[in-house]
Structure 1
């Protein structure tokens, strides 16, 4: 463990050296004392020790610089603090945090459960053999919510895929140019359907589909895919770029599909196998936006 966590004196020494490094070369011992929470006399004593140990050079009255040895010591202590912080956040807190899951069968408090994602929601099954497990902190019957903690392992997730359907702007025909049957076909197997833009919303409504949201469509679809749920984003031409940016940020596989220019024209798909749309698809989207 880092010395800054083992005793108060080393911790104070570390903080004072950090303050010197932050303020050098003109160093006010009074300001450091206020920042660290000790007296100015104590700061003066610590600085004398740091100079004697070769961690600080005194250039003149109230002018100090941290030496290479001092920087190396700060890095060493900081790395130790970082490792300890990671241990706390990743090992300790992750294991004691609680989350809610849907019980697949009757569960008693204290029972070990196997965790899985179904339809994007966490489920708990009374079993300790799965790749991801936890401990129930409440009792629940099948279909009820149960609180789970003590997480171990990794939940197996088959990432969902997102289809982005680009519809023309109102000036280029808008929802009137979108074949309802084709849109129904694209959305048929998707668990989540969202819309970006007025033309997109009306295209879905003409197809008898009500979007689950018309806000932050790309972010919603990315979150759904991360939870193993397939999604369709119907987006107006000038909104496609914002949607695909959000999907790329979420490292989500997606394809861009253009609606036909007139009713009865089939959808044509352009797919990016690496999780991004092809250059042709991007050019088509930009062109449609320019036309708008």
Structure 2
């Protein structure tokens, strides 16, 4: 076993500049062996060639590196084991930073309902499919503003606490037959127009769906990427009327089922 194995355990790569340099040099040797150019290693890790030479001598004495003549080195099994142990430590640290540190300072964006000062506690709500923040921490869900904002502007928020209280939207799907079966001409226009008034958004999918909406003098809110857009709108609490040709229904219903969004398929074709 290498003579400073105890030191390696006590002062890992993250705690010892010396071990951090040793780690980088061993990695460079492993990548370049057996022909090792000390100057290339020095340039790669930002130390002098003399420093690399000194470290190589120590690594060889400690049993982490074998020297096979001038400029020829090879990482030993002990050296590989030490690299693995230090890499495991780095991996654990990165996971901690990613999950426990960065995850705690996640920043979202909301629309300010009132003027908000940086550092102020805000209450959150979902209105018309948009996350909104109001000054004060009296709501069921709160956060801390990381930017200042005037009413109506976007504001960055973090340190979330509680749950934004709102209900998922629902989706009503008006099934329009394909053109060879009558297409939009068999849709009851008045019924379609009436259904639109009780929904927050109107989406279309397929040419027959677009034609039916046009015939009812409606202006669709969603025309492209409707499967994802309808799902997203419903998750934000909006009720959506989807007017879709029968041959394009499946991608939409599959997406809604995956997201546990409630939907109903309605057939309004005339008898």
Matches within 5 A, 1:212-223: 212-223=221-232
> Aligned to 2:126, what secondary structure does the other structure show?
strand
TM-score by length of 2: 0.70
User: Residue 77 of structure 1 aligns with which residue?
Assistant: 90
Residue 171 of structure 2 aligns with which residue?
162
Unpaired segments ≥5 residues, structure 1 = 266-292
Deviations 1:169-194 (Å, cap 9, x if unpaired)? 32332212333345345544321222
* Unaligned runs of at least 5 residues, structure 2: 1-10
Find the counterpart in structure 1 of residue 161 from structure 2: 153
Tell me how far apart the structure 2 counterparts of residues 100 and 114 of structure 1 sit (CA, whole Å).
11
Equivalent positions of 1:93-172 (< 5 A) are 94=106, 97=107, 99-103=109-113, 106-107=114-115, 109=117, 111-135=120-144, 137-138=147-148, 140=150, 144-145=152-153, 147-156=155-164, 157-172=166-181
- Verify the 8 A CA contact 1:98 1:148 in the aligned structure 2: yes
CA distance in 2: counterparts of 1:256 and 1:25, whole angstroms: 66
Which of 239, 247, 270 in structure 2 is aligned with 1:264? 270
- Counterpart pick for 2:99 among 86, 100, 109: 86
TM-score, normalisation: structure 1: 0.66
Report what 1:205 is aligned to: 214
User: How do residues 44-63 of structure 1 correspond to structure 2 at under 5 angstroms?
Assistant: 61-63=72-74
CA RMSD after TM alignment: 3.9
1:36/1:165 CA distance change after superposition, 3 Å = farther
Counterpart for residue 282 of structure 1:
none
- Report the 3-state secondary structure (helix = DSSP H, G, I; strand = E; otherwise coil) of the residue aligned with 1:193: strand
Aligned-pair CA distance for 1:8: 3.9
Count of aligned residue pairs for this structure pair: 252
Q: Tell me if the contact between 1:225 and 1:252 (Cα under 8 Å) persists in the aligned partners.
A: no
CA contact (8 A) 2:104 2:159 kept: no
Structure with max Cα Rg: 2
SS in 2 for 1:130: coil
Give the superposition deviation at 1:100. Answer: 4.0
2:201 corresponds to 1:192 = yes
* Distance in 1, Cα, partners of 2:130 & 2:56: 56
Map of 2:243 onto structure 1: 234
